[in-house]
């Protein structure tokens, strides 16, 4: 019997090539690329269930520290110091009257960073531990359902954000439609997601990074072009940019060892070359300054060519 080829959700082509046949943790699964529009996706498209995100299994396999399963408190503490570059992207939209919804808010670290900067903050998160953590420790409401099912009383919103979420969503059109329903007519959508044109994949072609990169919960792998096509089809207009948040030393580590660093914070914060306290302070500062300057230049170069690991979108539903 002839197997039917999957249909691309963006351009409906049935012509695809197989990029890989395994994911992180050696999970056997095909990664396909549409021959017509270049969209990259898992086959089959089902992804993981909402129950999987609610369970502890998800955090056991995917978290800020690869050596151990982080508690919700540890996840919050790991990501909280890194919210400033994201806040910067939407700061100009925040007024005392702003109502904001963050979809897939994890432990609420992004909304916590907006304390005092908006009138109403609401989160939406499937992870049970994360939801419990927010309800116990933070001062905003969180819904524990997918956006497609949630009846959010605090809406409609001036701004909806979804940070590192869209790549998990098996039906991005119904996801974006549900977002539109929760937005005010002139409300903004802000997205961050992985960029398949990531310099480590597309230019340096690091085998270890490829093996680490493709993972079961990420069903789609967007580029600037395929993200643009998706948003256009869903009726959103705006600006797509790329950002390189991981530092120069993290990339050197990938190039030299082919392995991830154990901890998210080392790769995402300022690059530190010398941390040894016995080293002369002046010498240490001089070398660390060199690495910091090099890091800035490297990130500018990567972003200039749209090769940063993250894509960002800020825009509105077309009127």
Tokens of 133: 């953590």
37 binds Zn ion (CB under 5 A): yes
**Cβ neighbours for 96, distance < 8 A, ≥ 6 positions apart:** 118, 119
**Cβ neighbours for 85, distance < 8 A, ≥ 6 positions apart:** 243, 245
Q: Which stretch binds Zn ion (CB under 5 A): 5-13, 76-84, 111-119, 135-143?
A: 5-13
Count of CA atoms in the C-beta half-sphere (13 A) of 262 = 4
Q: How far is the CB of 173 from Zn ion (least distance, A)?
A: 14
Q: How far is the CB of 148 from Zn ion (least distance, A)?
A: 23
**Cβ neighbours for 136, distance < 8 A, ≥ 6 positions apart:** none
Binding residues with Zn ion: total (CB under 5 A): 8
Query: 34 or 199: whose CB is closer to Zn ion?
Result: 34
Query: 13 or 306: whose CB is closer to Zn ion?
Result: 13
- Contact pick of 8, 160, 191, 230 for Zn ion (by CB under 5 A): 8
Residue for token pair 């230019």? 203
274 binds Zn ion (CB under 5 A): no
Q: Which stretch binds Zn ion (CB under 5 A): 35-43, 78-86, 135-143, 164-172?
A: 35-43
**Cβ neighbours for 45, distance < 8 A, ≥ 6 positions apart:** 6, 9, 170, 219
Beta sheet of 236-243, edge-to-edge order: 141-143, 120-124, 99-103, 157-163, 183-194, 310-317, 236-243
175 close to 147: Cβ distance less than 8 angstroms = yes
144 close to 128: Cβ distance less than 8 angstroms = yes
Query: 101 or 227: whose CB is closer to Zn ion?
Result: 227
10 binds Zn ion (CB under 5 A): yes
142 close to 194: Cβ distance less than 8 angstroms = no
Residue for token pair 């490829």? 210
CA gap 30, 259 in Å, rounded? 22
Query: 3 or 17: whose CB is closer to Zn ion?
Result: 17
183 binds Zn ion (CB under 5 A): no
Q: How far is the CB of 319 from Zn ion (least distance, A)?
A: 27
- Contact pick of 15, 36, 51, 81 for Zn ion (by CB under 5 A): 36
93 binds Zn ion (CB under 5 A): no
113 binds Zn ion (CB under 5 A): no
Q: Which stretch binds Zn ion (CB under 5 A): 29-37, 72-80, 116-124, 168-176?
A: 29-37
199 binds Zn ion (CB under 5 A): no
- Contact pick of 23, 31, 32, 34 for Zn ion (by CB under 5 A): 34
CA gap 189, 176 in Å, rounded? 9
229 binds Zn ion (CB under 5 A): no
Q: Which residues bind Zn ion (CB under 5 A)?
A: 8, 10-11, 13, 34, 36-37, 39
């Amino acid at each position: 019997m002839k197997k039917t080829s999957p249909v691309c959700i963006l351009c409906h082509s049935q012509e695809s090539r197989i990029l890989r046949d395994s994911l992180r943790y050696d999970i056997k699964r095909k990664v396909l690329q549409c021959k017509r529009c270049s969209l990259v996706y898992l086959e089959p498209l089902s992804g993981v269930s909402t129950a999987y995100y609610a369970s502890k299994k998800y955090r056991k396999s995917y978290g800020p520290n690869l050596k151990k399963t982080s508690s919700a408190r540890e996840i919050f503490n790991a990501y909280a110091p890194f919210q400033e570059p994201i806040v910067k992207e939407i700061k100009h939209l925040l007024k005392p009257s702003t109502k904001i919804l963050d979809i897939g808010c994890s432990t609420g670290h992004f909304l916590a960073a907006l304390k005092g900067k908006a009138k109403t903050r609401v989160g939406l998160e499937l992870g049970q531990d994360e939801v419990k953590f927010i309800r116990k420790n933070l001062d905003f409401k969180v819904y524990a359902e997918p956006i497609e099912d949630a009846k959010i009383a605090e809406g409609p919103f001036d701004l909806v954000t979804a940070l590192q979420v869209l790549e998990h969503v098996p039906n991005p059109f119904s996801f974006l439609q549900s977002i539109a329903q929760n937005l005010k007519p002139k409300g903004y959508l802000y997205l961050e997601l992985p960029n398949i044109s990531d310099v480590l994949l597309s230019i340096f072609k690091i085998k270890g990074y490829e093996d680490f990169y493709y993972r079961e919960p990420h069903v789609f792998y967007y580029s600037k072009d395929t993200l643009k096509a998706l948003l256009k089809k869903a009726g959103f207009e705006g600006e797509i940019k790329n950002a390189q948040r991981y530092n120069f030393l993290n990339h050197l580590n990938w190039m030299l060892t082919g392995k991830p660093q154990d901890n998210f914070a080392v790769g995402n914060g300022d690059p530190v070359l010398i941390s040894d306290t016995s080293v002369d302070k002046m010498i240490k500062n001089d070398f660390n300054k060199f690495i910091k300057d090099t890091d800035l230049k490297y990130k500018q170069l990567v972003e200039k060519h749209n090769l940063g690991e993250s894509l960002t979108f800020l825009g509105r539903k077309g009127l």
